[in-house]
Amino acid sequence: MKVLTVVGARPQFIKAAAVSRELRERHEEVLVHTGQHYDEEMSDVFFEELGIPEPDANLGVGSDDHGAQTAEMLVGLEDLIASERPDAVLVYGDTNSTLAAAIAAAKMDPALAHVEAGLRSYNREMPEEINRVLTDHAADRLFAPSARAVENLAAEGVTDGVRDTGDVMYDAVLWARDRATDRSTVLDDLGVDPGEYVLATVHRAANTDDPDRLAAVLDALAADSREVVFPAHPRTVNRMREYGLYDEARDRLTLTDPVGYLDFVRLQDAAAVVATDSGGVQKEAFFLDTPCVTMREETEWRETVAAGWNTLVGADGEAISRALASADPPADKPQPYGDGTAAAAIVDGLDDV
Ligand code: UD1
Ligand code: UDP
């Protein structure tokens, strides 16, 4: 079988790497990069470090408004699907790259397969929520990371082609954890000790594109008594500069460029607590037994909250400070996202196409 995989943004390289290792044992894969992320530390670093082959094609789309960016990807992907004639198009998550590939594939011959199907934040203000709902409703194969994701799909009448595979990010973390401990020098490079610092990331549009929310988040992080390591997404750096928040943030936080996957896994593993608005980071913290404070009002990864390992605090400065200071998850932790063998289950699911 020929599978055309479409990736474009940082977390998709990490997820696709885990599936690709399994997929290439059994099938032919054509890997397409839309070019949504393009900086060395947002893209190339993952291809080098995760051992994924170079993309067979890069559409070089880059940054733009949602409509223009998605449309340019759609045009390029339609051409590629026509020339490559894959049996299946495989997409990940909820970015504009996911949606563009879903629209292109759904109107052409190949089956559309969606990894991370069935996630819902039930907040339609999030561009990602629109992307994931539309992709799920266009997909032929829906690989859900949890029983709850399967239930979410059923509630929308989507039951055909749905399979609970577990979460592929768990596979990725299991692959990376020991490698990161052995190889990463990031703790020494930054001069931080295990258990002594907070690790923070912020990139969600609702936080970065609102000066009051961004200022409240940065203030609350800086007020913590521990060192706060903050590998900043380029979007966030741009907004901090635009709103005049950058210099103070640089003085009060340990701001760095985005780091590679092994360094980031090491940083999460050794942090006292993680503060984030990322989807993937909430789960990775959970897999790595590090408590998480999520600076959003809701999450699509609700199992982590129900388990007591993740606290939702929005952009409320006091709530952020309180949650950071008191993070104390229960000793026992359920496993709602499978056992780290999602990649094999996904490739099994593709075999049915
Ligand atoms: C995108 C996804 C988001 C995902 C995130 C992962 C959408 C709608 N959003 O958000 O769901 O969580 O990726 O990180 O698809 N930029 C650079 N260099 C880069 C990439 C981006 O400078 O390599 C800057 C540009 O100014 C760009 C901005 O970041 O305008 C936003 O990038 P974009 O890909 O549109 O969205 P993300 O915020 O990265
Ligand atoms: N990540 C990384 N370096 C960083 C920040 C994050 O490698 O500096 C990884 C992280 O381990 C996770 C993924 O990027 O696997 C999460 O991506 P992001 O937060 O950009 O997107 P989201 O998951 O919210 O879509």
Please report which ligand is nearest the Cα atom of 288.
Answer: 2
Please report which ligand is nearest the Cα atom of 232.
Answer: 2
Ligand 2 atom nearest to CA at 14: 15
pLDDT digits (tens, 9 = 90+) for 68-96: 999 999 999 999 999 999 999 999 999 99
Region 268-287: mean pLDDT is 98
Does the beta carbon of 283 sit less than 6 angstroms from any atom of ligand 2? no
Identify whether residues 250 and 141 lie together within a single domain.
no
How many Cβ atoms sit within 10 Å of the Cβ of residue 192? Answer: 21
Does the beta carbon of 282 sit less than 6 angstroms from any atom of ligand 2? no
How many Cβ atoms sit within 10 Å of the Cβ of residue 140? Answer: 17
Catalytic annotation, residues: 203
Taking the centre of ligand 1 as the mean of its atom positions, its distance from the CA of residue 115, in whole angstroms, is: 20
Ligand 2 atom nearest to CA at 9: 20
Identify whether residues 300 and 183 lie together within a single domain.
yes
pLDDT digits (tens, 9 = 90+) for 3-57: 999 999 999 999 999 999 999 999 999 999 999 999 999 999 999 999 888 999 9
Confidence of residue 351 (pLDDT cuts 50, 70, 90): confident
Taking the centre of ligand 1 as the mean of its atom positions, its distance from the CA of residue 66, in whole angstroms, is: 10
Closest CA to 260 of 39, 72, 105: 39
List the residue whose alpha carbon is closest to atom 24 of ligand 2: 278
Taking the centre of ligand 2 as the mean of its atom positions, its distance from the CA of residue 12, in whole angstroms, is: 9
List the residue whose alpha carbon is closest to atom 26 of ligand 1: 235
- Please check whether residue 83 lies inside any domain of the structure: yes
Give the integer Cα–Cα distance in Å for 123 and 135: 16
Q: Within 13 A of 54's CA, how many CA atoms are on the CB side?
A: 3
- CATH at residue 272: 3.40.50.2000
List the residue whose alpha carbon is closest to atom 5 of ligand 2: 258
Identify whether residues 184 and 224 lie together within a single domain.
yes
Per the CB < 8 A criterion, the answer to whether 225 and 258 are in contact is no
The separation between CA 301 and the C-alpha centre of its own chain, rounded to angstroms, equals 11
- Please check whether residue 45 lies inside any domain of the structure: yes
Q: Count Cβ atoms within 10 A of the Cβ of residue 188 and give its class: 0-12 exposed, 13-18 middle, 19 or more buried.
A: exposed
Confidence of residue 324 (pLDDT cuts 50, 70, 90): very high
Identify whether residues 16 and 125 lie together within a single domain.
yes
Identify whether residues 193 and 306 lie together within a single domain.
yes
Identify whether residues 241 and 274 lie together within a single domain.
yes
If you average pLDDT over every residue of the chain, what do you get?
97
Identify whether residues 208 and 280 lie together within a single domain.
yes
Ligand 2 atom nearest to CA at 260: 7
3-class SS at 39? coil
- Please check whether residue 173 lies inside any domain of the structure: no
Question: What DSSP assignment string belongs to 102-158?
Answer: HHHHHTSSSEEEEETTT-----TTSHHHHHHHHHHHH-SEEEESSHHHHHHHHHTT-
Please report which ligand is nearest the Cα atom of 284.
Answer: 2
Per the CB < 8 A criterion, the answer to whether 76 and 55 are in contact is no
- Please check whether residue 68 lies inside any domain of the structure: yes
Name every protein residue with a CB atom under 6 angstroms from any ligand 1 atom.
Answer: 9-11, 36-39, 42, 63, 94-96, 127-128, 203, 234-235, 238
Identify whether residues 6 and 108 lie together within a single domain.
yes
Q: How do beta strands 28-33 and 57-58 pair?
A: parallel
Specify the amino acid at residue 280.
G
Ligand 2 atom nearest to CA at 258: 8
| Cα distances (Å, whole numbers) of residue 203 to 120, 231, 268, 275, 328 | 19, 11, 17, 12, 25
pLDDT digits (tens, 9 = 90+) for 131-144: 999 999 999 999 99
Identify whether residues 156 and 283 lie together within a single domain.
no
Identify whether residues 297 and 204 lie together within a single domain.
yes
Give how many domains the chain has, as a whole number.
2
Region 337-352: mean pLDDT is 96
List the residue whose alpha carbon is closest to atom 22 of ligand 1: 234
Taking the centre of ligand 2 as the mean of its atom positions, its distance from the CA of residue 190, in whole angstroms, is: 19
Identify whether residues 23 and 144 lie together within a single domain.
yes
Q: Which domain holds residue 274?
A: 179-326
